[in-house]
Amino acid sequence: MNCLVVIAHPLEHSLCKFLAEQTIAHLEDKGYQVTVKDLYQERFDPVLSDLERGSYYQDEFYHSQVSKDLDQLKQAESLVLIFPTWWFSFPAILKGWFDRVWAPGHAYEHASDFGPIKQCLTNLKEMKVITTLGSPWWVNTFILRSPVKKVLKLALLGACAKNCKFNMLTLYKSERLTESKVNKFIGEIKSRF
C-alpha cells in the first residue's frame, strides 16, 4: 500500500520524531511503500497565498507551488499523520498543509449550488494518526470534546475521503513520560497499525 507519512514537529530529537521513526520502520516491515514528508525539514510554507485562496471557486485551483504535495496526497492509499497537539489543535504548519493541499479540484469539488461538497480522495483508504498531548485524557475528552479527532475524522475525511478508515492514538501527559510508558505506546502503535 502506498503510504504518505506527514510529520510536523520542529525539533529533530523530539518524542514525535522518535515515534515517527518507530512507526515508519513498523509500516515498512508490514510491506507499506512509505513516502516521508517532514513539513519542518522541508520548510513547508503553511501560508495560503492570495492566488490560492482566490482560486478556490474558480475553474482551476492555483496549485503551482504545491503541485508535488497534491500529487503525494492523491497517490496515497494510506495517510499517517504524526504531530504534537498544541493548545488542543494542530501545529500551524500542519494546519497550513491542510489549507493548501486539501484543495478544491483535488481533495474535493464544490457543488455548483454551494451545497455539500463532493469527495475526491477516493484513493485514500486509511488515515492513521499519532499525536502527543501534555494534558490528561479526561481534559481532552470531557472538557474539550476531542477537537483534533473531530476535525480529522468528521471535517477532513468526511468532506474529502469517502469510506476511509480512521485510527487515532494519543500519548497523553507527554511531558511526564517514563521509558516504559513510551515503549508501551510503541507497542500499541504496532498492534493497532
Q: What is the CATH number of the domain that holds 79?
A: 3.40.50.360
End-to-end Cα, the chain, rounded Å: 13
Q: Is 148 helix (H, G, I), strand (E, B) or coil?
A: helix
List pLDDT tens digits, range 112-160: 888 889 999 999 999 999 999 999 999 999 999 999 999 999 999 999 9
What pTM, to 2 d.p., does this model score? 0.97
Range of the domain at 8: 2-192
Overall domain count for the chain: 1
The single-letter DSSP state of residue 143 is I
List pLDDT tens digits, range 70-91: 999 999 999 999 999 999 999 9
Strands (E) in 8-107, as ranges, are 33-38, 78-84
Judge contact between 85 and 19, C-beta under 8 A: no
Q: Grid coordinates representing 42?
A: 522541508
* Cα gap 115→95, rounded to integer Å: 24
